[in-house]
Amino acid sequence: MKILVVDDELIVARALSRAFSAKGHDVTVAHSGEEGLEKWIENSPDAVMLDVVMPGLTGPQVIEEYKKRKNMKTHTRVILMTAHSGVKGREPALELGADDFIQKPFENIFNLVTRIEDLVRSK
Amino acid sequence: MIQKAKESVQPKVLIVDDEEAICAAARRLLRSKNIDCVTASTPQEALKILKREDCWVVVSDYRMPEMSGTELLEEIKKNYPNISRLMLTGFLELPIIQEAINRASVFRFITKPWDETELLLGIETAIQHSGRKRTNSQLAHEIGVQNQKLEELTQNLESEVMKRTQGIEESRRMAESKQKLVRELTGFVKNLSRVSTIPQLYEVLYYEMTRFHGVSVPYLLTFEEHGRGRLYWMQHENLHEKHISSLPQHFGSLRLRTSSPEDRVWWESHIKKECRQLVTIPIRAREIPSSLPVALFLVEHDLDKGKLVDFLERITERLQPVSIVLDKIMLRHQLEIAAEQWEATFDGFRDPIAVVDKEEKVIRANKNFFKKDQSRCYEMFDKRTELCIDCPMPIAISSQEAASGLVRTATQKSYRVLSYPVLGSDQVRRVVNHYTDISHERDLYLKLVQSEKLAAVGLLAGNIAHELNNPLSGIRALAQLLKSETSPSSPHHADLDEVERAAIRCQQIIKNLLNFSEPSTEYDENVDINDLISITLPLLKTNLRNQNVHTYFAESIEKVKLQPSQIQQVIFNLVNNASQAMASGGVLTIKTWQEKGKVCFSIADSGPGIPPELHQRIFEPFFTTKGVGTGTGLGLSVSRSIVEKFGGQLTLESKMGLGTVFTVVLPSKPLAK
């Protein structure tokens, strides 16, 4: 599976990257919205782990930009992640064009990886 | 004495002889000698001549018809004693001579026919004799006149002296009586000058009046507002006073009058006895003769008309000083009333008010300004030794404008102080300080500030949470990953466990912080406080490595409906504070107990204690006494709002040098949310 991790918090990006890699997935990491958008277009990953609050383009803006440029629906599963208390639950995240929503901090990283794998496979 | 002829200075001689020849001869002889001479042929003629002319000497013949020479000369002697008398006689018979001398005091006898020389000598001697007699008689007369005058003078002098003496006596008496009157008046005025009340005035008037015989006890009626009055009189040596609810209207414009039936009726109705004669004397306000009377003086008497005039004169003389005194008393009375009204108004204020001079000495203060023996405002107000902090008085004095400030007392009360400067000519003479207790408002305000601060904390927490949760996610995830890659028997495995636990705790703290800003999603549970403390204490193991922990749990305790993680947070904060308060060692005592409807626990340290002035402040958000990096200044404020959220109370009790006890009281039946 090709996974793109977009998070400005280095340790989060690194942890996710290590967790997915450990399960044998192909992980690409981006540290900003702009970089994430570029790598999303470039790599067409199966899933994008996209942080909501980032300097520059935010997660939802990245989704919007991506759809604007491709002008079509993508096969990529988009998972929005946030530590911010202002965004809660799945519903608002889906409205923003995401397929799933994950509240930081993660309870268990292994469960998270399994959940994303299931999501991609359910496609 | 017969009518006197005009006195002649020239001596004149009368010759009386019935023989014309003799008369002529004598005439001739005397004229030749320049002696004035008249002649008479009968005694009657001679007497006629004497009536007409002043003759010095009469020479008479002895023998004449109708009347003898002796008889004529006797007559002449009787009527003209100063005339020297000579007798011509032809024969000198002794009995004739004797008779002539005895009866007529004949000066000399001349015989006929006369010897011219003898005759002339006789006549000249007689002239001299008569002259002497004349002079003597003149002198005697003058002496008599002088004597008479002297006598008159003496008499006049005596009466004059008597008159004068009487005059002096009279004026001395008058002066004395005047002096007495003046003395009495002076004494009266002197007595008046000591008078400061109406009863005292009455007393002075009473003694003055009763000295006048025939005058009874006087009555003084003073006028008050709304047609009321007050009557004063002396009875059995006691002063009586009576309130009169309604005075006759004419009293207000009354002039001095005697025996007015109208006044008499009124007087009798109030005194309840029959009146003899009555004088009504109005007393007017000072300096305004036309003004209306302010009091009446009623005097009963049995004086006759003369005495009454004296009495009235005496009274009138005294009315002016009485007016002045009455005026003074009334002014004073009005001042007293005004002062009383002001004082009552002043005291009516619920707020303390003080009039203070520039040296901070209290001149006047109302009842609610704490009255003590001290003189300075700050001593009285807050038992201070210098001006209250933030007292606006110095600003009011320097700016000459009202100033306000907020003063906190030692008893933790808050006052808004308004200082109003009172300006004298061009500088502030004193200041009126008005204190409003705003402790309650201040508390509300502080609570509002606290809640505002908490709201800010909440907002801040939201942002911080994101910032912290992000790296914590990474830390926790990495720890999990690394753990999965190490053998459970490896020491790294345990280390990574510790890392993950710390991360979890951090996440929990952040979660609690978030609870202030947003409605909690956690559900209330029925919690046993003993259990909750028991599972929380191990989390603080590392914080309490230097302290002895004693726990005293109530044997059975009601469960409390609350969110356990939040109360855990409170326990965590309080224990953490306690351990920091006795960093170098001490005893931490945790107790739980049950009161009626309440579940309580306390956390006590044996630290240095918290100064009283900080007891309130330590609950304020961001207030901290700890060093940089040790405290956030949120622990106690967060704890208190958690406890209050569940309807409970968090209080503290602290004694310097002995330690501090924080007590949490929670209702066992929670408030309906």
Helices (H), chain A: 10-22, 33-43, 59-70, 90-95, 109-121
Q: Least CB-CB distance to A15: which of B467, B468, B481?
A: B481
Question: Mean pLDDT over residues B249-278, rounded?
Answer: 80
Q: Is A123 within a domain?
A: no
Q: What is the pLDDT of residues A38-53, one digit of tens each?
A: 999 999 899 999 998 8
- Cα separation, B632 vs B502, in Å, equals 18
Residues 6+ apart with CB under 8 A from B133: B81, B82, B84
- The answer to whether B419 touches B403, Cβ cutoff 8 Å, is yes
Interface-testing mutation among A11, A31, A113, A115, with chain B (most B C-beta atoms within 10 A) = A11
- Top pLDDT among B76 and B452 is at B76
Residues of A in contact with B471 (CB under 8 A): 9, 11-12
CB spacing of A10 vs B514 below 8 angstroms: no
Question: Mean pLDDT over residues B143-169, rounded?
Answer: 92
Is B501 an 8 Å CB contact of chain A?
A: no
pLDDT for residue B190 is more than 50:
yes
Question: Mean pLDDT over residues B541-549, rounded?
Answer: 82
CATH number of the domain within which A63 lies: 3.40.50.2300
DSSP assignment of B595-629, as one string? ETTEEEEEEE--SS---GGGTTGGGSTT---SPTT
Torsion angle, alpha carbons of B441, B442, B447, B452, to 10: 100
Q: Which CATH architecture does the domain made up of B520-667 adopt?
A: 2-Layer Sandwich (3.30)
Residues of A in contact with B517 (CB under 8 A): 85
Closest of B115, B112, B87 to residue B100, by C-alpha: B87
Question: Mean pLDDT over residues A32-43, rounded?
Answer: 93
Is B480 an 8 Å CB contact of chain A?
A: yes
Q: What is the pLDDT of residues B483-530, one digit of tens each?
A: 999 999 988 998 999 899 888 888 877 776 666 555 555 667 788 899
User: Can you identify the CATH homologous superfamily of domain B194-343?
Assistant: GAF domain (3.30.450.40)
Q: Least CB-CB distance to B465: which of A14, A19, A83?
A: A83
Q: What is the pLDDT of residues B112-136, one digit of tens each?
A: 888 888 888 889 998 898 888 888 8
Tokens in use for B605? 């340290």
User: Can you identify the CATH homologous superfamily of domain B12-147?
Assistant: Response regulator (3.40.50.2300)
Longest dimension (CA), chain A: 36
- Cα separation, B381 vs B366, in Å, equals 12
> The dihedral of CA B96, B97, B103, B104: what is its sign?
positive
Burial class (CB in 10 A: 0-12, 13-18, 19+), B620: middle
- Cα separation, B105 vs B254, in Å, equals 99
How many residues does the structure list for chain A?
Answer: 123
CB spacing of B481 vs A19 below 8 angstroms: yes
For the beta carbon of residue B508, count every other beta carbon within 10 angstroms.
Answer: 15
Interface predicted TM-score (ipTM): 0.86
Q: Which CATH architecture does the domain made up of B353-437 adopt?
A: 2-Layer Sandwich (3.30)
Under the banding of pLDDT at 50, 70 and 90, the label for residue B626 is low
- The answer to whether B72 touches B16, Cβ cutoff 8 Å, is yes
Tokens in use for B328? 């003074």
pLDDT at B671: 46
pLDDT at B512: 65
- The answer to whether B524 touches B566, Cβ cutoff 8 Å, is no
Domains B194-343 and B353-437 share a fold: yes
Task: Find the angle CA(B65)-CA(B66)-CA(B69) to the nearest 5 degrees.
Answer: 75
Work out the angle between the directed axes of helices B69-79 and B94-104 (0-180°, nearest 10).
20
Give, in order, the Cα–Cα distances in Å from B6 to each of B50, B54, B129, B564.
10, 6, 19, 173
Instruction: Name the pairing type of β-strands B525-527 and A100-103.
Output: unpaired
Closest of A11, A4, A2 to residue A36, by C-alpha: A4
Work out the angle between the directed axes of helices B69-79 and B43-52 (0-180°, nearest 10).
20
Chain B: closest CA distance from residue A70 (Å): 30
Question: Mean pLDDT over residues A8-33, rounded?
Answer: 93
- Top pLDDT among B142 and A69 is at B142
pLDDT for residue B661 is more than 90:
yes
Partners of B364 in beta bridges: B355
Q: Least CB-CB distance to B466: which of A10, A83, A108?
A: A83
pLDDT for residue A10 is more than 60:
yes
CA B15 centroid distance within chain: 113
Q: Least CB-CB distance to A15: which of B467, B474, B507?
A: B474
Torsion angle, alpha carbons of B536, B539, B540, B542, to 10: 160
CB spacing of A105 vs B469 below 8 angstroms: yes
Chain A: closest CA distance from residue B528 (Å): 27
Q: What is the pLDDT of residues B438-494, one digit of tens each?
A: 888 877 777 777 666 666 666 677 677 777 888 888 999 999 999 999 999 988 998
- The answer to whether A62 touches A36, Cβ cutoff 8 Å, is yes
Under the banding of pLDDT at 50, 70 and 90, the label for residue A114 is very high
Judged by average pLDDT, the poorest of B81-90, B92-101, B472-481, B663-672 is B663-672
pLDDT at B262: 82
Q: Is A56 within a domain?
A: yes
pLDDT for residue B632 is more than 70:
no
Q: Provide Rg for chain A, Cα atoms.
A: 13
Residues 6+ apart with CB under 8 A from A123: A46, A75, A77
pLDDT at B544: 83
- Cα separation, B8 vs B83, in Å, equals 12
- The answer to whether A97 touches A60, Cβ cutoff 8 Å, is yes
- The answer to whether B589 touches B581, Cβ cutoff 8 Å, is no
Most confident of B359-363, B443-447, B634-638: B359-363
Domain ranges of chain B: 12-147, 194-343, 353-437, 520-667
Q: What percentage of chain B has pLDDT greater than the value 90?
A: 18
The span from the first CA to the last CA of chain A, in angstroms, equals 13
Is A15 an 8 Å CB contact of chain B?
A: yes
Partners of B284 in beta bridges: B293
Chain A: closest CA distance from residue B388 (Å): 48
Is A89 an 8 Å CB contact of chain B?
A: no
pLDDT at B335: 86
pLDDT at B592: 94
CB spacing of B478 vs A10 below 8 angstroms: no
B94: enclosing H helix or E strand: helix B94-104
pLDDT for residue B651 is more than 80:
yes
Tokens in use for B299? 């005097």
- Cα separation, B308 vs B299, in Å, equals 11
What is the rounded average pLDDT for all residues in chain B? 84
Beta strand spans in B328-377 (E): 353-357, 362-365
Torsion angle, alpha carbons of B293, B297, B301, B304, to 10: -30
pLDDT at B517: 53
DSSP assignment of B400-430, as one string? SS-EEEEEE-TTS-EEEEEEEEEE-SSSEEE
Interface-testing mutation among A6, A9, A108, with chain B (most B C-beta atoms within 10 A) = A9
The structural domain count of chain A equals 1
| Structure-token match 């509240």, residue found | A103
Q: Is A98 within a domain?
A: yes
pLDDT at A115: 92
pLDDT at B455: 64
Amino acid code (one letter) for B453: K
Give, in order, the Cα–Cα distances in Å from B181 to each of B174, B177, B198, B310, B317.
10, 6, 25, 12, 10
**pTM over 0.90, yes/no:** no
CA B494 centroid distance within chain: 97
For the beta carbon of residue A63, count every other beta carbon within 10 angstroms.
Answer: 23
Q: Is A83 within a domain?
A: yes
Question: Mean pLDDT over residues B624-651, rounded?
Answer: 76
- A·B CB contacts under 8 A: 70
- Top pLDDT among B410 and B463 is at B410
Q: Domain limits at A47?
A: 2-118
CB spacing of A53 vs B473 below 8 angstroms: no
- The answer to whether B573 touches B642, Cβ cutoff 8 Å, is no
Interface-testing mutation among B464, B470, B515, B516, with chain A (most A C-beta atoms within 10 A) = B470
- Cα separation, B456 vs B329, in Å, equals 70
Q: What is the pLDDT of residues B325-336, one digit of tens each?
A: 888 888 888 888
pLDDT for residue B631 is more than 80:
no
pLDDT at B672: 43
Closest of B29, B171, B10, B12 to residue B84, by C-alpha: B12
Partners of B243 in beta bridges: B230
